[in-house]
Amino acid sequence: MSPIDTVIISTNFWRVPSVERAFSGILEGCPSAEERIAIIEEAKSARANWKPCADGMQLVEQLKTFIGCRVRIQFWDSIMWMCDEEAPFPTEADCLGVILQQHEGFLQAYLQVKNLKELPTHEGYSSQGYFKQQVGSDVLLAPLADLYEVSKIGFIV
């Protein structure tokens, strides 16, 4: 394996802001009506102005070094702020590529994977819903916008 075998994504530069996720970072309390309006307006503005940044493109380049490797993927769920054990199940897969595609009007990055093996945990849940089908192929897409951690665990045989 190479010197960089694990990438942990603590700031996800590929996650497009949305009203649906605008409140996911609030751990305590309930925002007032005025605060809710401000949070929603901020999310709408951030979404309207979102585009891939240099850090996001650097992540794409870094993950290209994982092509040809068996990887372990951990997706992010905001529940992980408090309960790591309730996270989506880790999944092992063969990494075949990293691609950019338009999705809902935004350029998005994906790992191209196949030969998935989900690793169930006691309190987590299936990660299958995070994967997207690549049109006309048996290859699945793992959105970088939903990734938390990717680790090289071997080479594709």
pTM: 0.89
Enumerate the domain spans of the chain. 6-11+51-155
CA distances from 9 to 88, 148, 156 (A): 15, 5, 23
Model pLDDT for residues 23-79, shown as the tens digit of each residue: 876 767 889 999 999 999 999 999 999 999 999 999 999 999 999 999 999 998 876
Mean pLDDT score across all residues of the chain: 92
CB 111 within 8 A of CB 141: yes
The pLDDT, as a whole number, for residue 58 is 97
Model pLDDT for residues 123-132, shown as the tens digit of each residue: 899 999 999 9
Identify which of 112, 109, 119, 125 has the alpha carbon closest to the alpha carbon of residue 57: 109
